[in-house]
Amino acid sequence: GWNSDKSSFFIAIEDNGVGFSKKEEALIFSKGKTSKENHEGLGLFYVQEVAEMVHGKISFKSPGHNLGATFKISLPKNDKERS
């Protein structure tokens, strides 16, 4: 889902996929990190790169391995906040 306030848009994405452990958190946005066979591990890496390019933020949480995850992205609404 998504939401907004005066200065930012907020996007939340929740799944019931493989999730991750506390130990895996440090590597979650690493280029090449994947838990899937035949994947490049670029998705979350690029999401973080784009969010940072526009002065946005991404946060995440997971109750643990095989318990899904929630990612929250905030993006500024206007260019004034990006300068």
Residues 6+ apart with CB under 8 A from 74: 8, 9, 10, 11, 56, 57, 58
Length of the chain equals: 83
Counting as low any pLDDT under 50, the low residues of the chain are: 81-83
pLDDT computed for residue 81 by the predictor? 47
Using DSSP bridges, classify how beta strands 8-15 and 2-4 pair: parallel, antiparallel or unpaired: antiparallel
Helix (H, G, I), strand (E, B) or coil at 65: coil
Helix (H, G, I), strand (E, B) or coil at 38: coil
**Chain Cα centroid distance, residue 2:** 14
CA distances from 62 to 16, 38, 40, 76, 77 (A): 10, 23, 22, 25, 28
Task: Report if pTM > 0.85.
Answer: no
